[in-house]
Amino acid sequence: MKTEEIWDCIVVGAGPAGLSAAIYMGRFRRRTLVISDGNGRWSYGQRNENYLGFPEGVSARQLHELGVAQAERFDVAFSAACVTSVSHDGKGYRLETSMGSRAARTLIWATGVRDHWPAFSGARRLVGTSLFWCIVCDGWRTRDKDVLIFGNADSVGSTVLQFLTYTRRLTVLVDPEKDKLSLDMQARLEAEGVAVRRGGVKRVEHAGNRLREVVLTDGTVLKPDYLFSLLGSTPKTALLKDLPVALDGRGHVIIDDKNRTGLATFFAAGDVSNKHSHQVVSAAHEGAMSAQAANHVLYFND
């Protein structure tokens, strides 16, 4: 009878956090498997222009491909699959996936988040060229441009005010059915020259992945250069409900300064953690930290 393969570490997710963790684990000579469903933020069309070492920028997909190739140099294995359940028996982990069952001694959770996009047809196609979500990553490109920002609560205020460093040609569009923007915050934004509208989007005209115009439900036609979504995201942690892993109020995995959780052999990295900086450089750092912590645990269980 064939003995089941038990990996030293399974990394779930293949974004910057997951790939960084995998590269480190591979170089530690740990038998490592990366499982990815291919739906991370790395699959968007955006270009990273603030990541060290790429003076002309690097696309998220290219960075992913480079990371996979680098991990494979160190004998890391990859499985294109969806994880459907995760269990822990006190000794190790069992992951059921669309490509079969997998077992591991340690687990690094780097699944990222599911972004909430504006409800108009073709939104995903515009991500990375005309539609963005991170001012730290992409505020620079909006210099002196017209920007339409989707946001429904006071939490948009601090980000919108940061935009004033780049451009003062700003409009916030609030969905009337989800309106939680206070009058005080609206007044503060308007005092800075930010236009605030309430309404829905009837359609967005675009040529390929380039924005042309936005038509609102009341017939108003806007011609912004860029769209920004401040509608938030949901961490991909639903499968962790049966594990003794603490989540914060928004569902992010709570980690310490070494990316450890309350479960000694379970680690989290990247946007899925309660640090959720939404930065590639931070995700890569967290992946490296989680791998070092996992490797340390394995030393005491070899």
Residue 174 falls within a domain, yes or no?
Answer: yes
Round to whole Å and give the CA distance between 294 and 289.
9
Nearest to 42 by CA among 24, 68, 7: 68
Query: Are 242 and 108 part of one and the same domain?
Result: yes
Residue where a domain terminates, one of 211, 229, 247: 229
Number of domains forming the structure of the chain: 2
Round to whole Å and give the CA distance between 225 and 212.
8
Residue 1 falls within a domain, yes or no?
Answer: no
- pLDDT, position 2: 61
What's the pTM?
Answer: 0.94
Round to whole Å and give the CA distance between 203 and 192.
28
Query: Are 126 and 273 part of one and the same domain?
Result: no
Residue 84 falls within a domain, yes or no?
Answer: yes
**56: containing domain:** 6-114+233-299
What is the amino acid identity at position 258?
Answer: K
Query: Are 143 and 225 part of one and the same domain?
Result: yes
Q: Which residues on adjacent β-strands are paired with residue 61?
A: none
Mean pLDDT over 18-29 rounds to 99
CATH number of the domain encompassing residue 188: 3.50.50.60
Query: Are 201 and 65 part of one and the same domain?
Result: no
Residue 224 falls within a domain, yes or no?
Answer: yes
Query: Are 35 and 106 part of one and the same domain?
Result: yes
Lowest mean pLDDT segment, chosen from 43-47, 77-81, 156-160, 223-227: 43-47
Query: Are 295 and 266 part of one and the same domain?
Result: yes
For the stretch 235-290, pLDDT in tens is: 999 999 999 999 999 999 999 999 999 999 999 999 999 998 889 999 999 999 99
Query: Are 16 and 44 part of one and the same domain?
Result: yes
Nearest to 70 by CA among 18, 13, 10: 18
Query: Are 193 and 268 part of one and the same domain?
Result: no
Residue 44 falls within a domain, yes or no?
Answer: yes
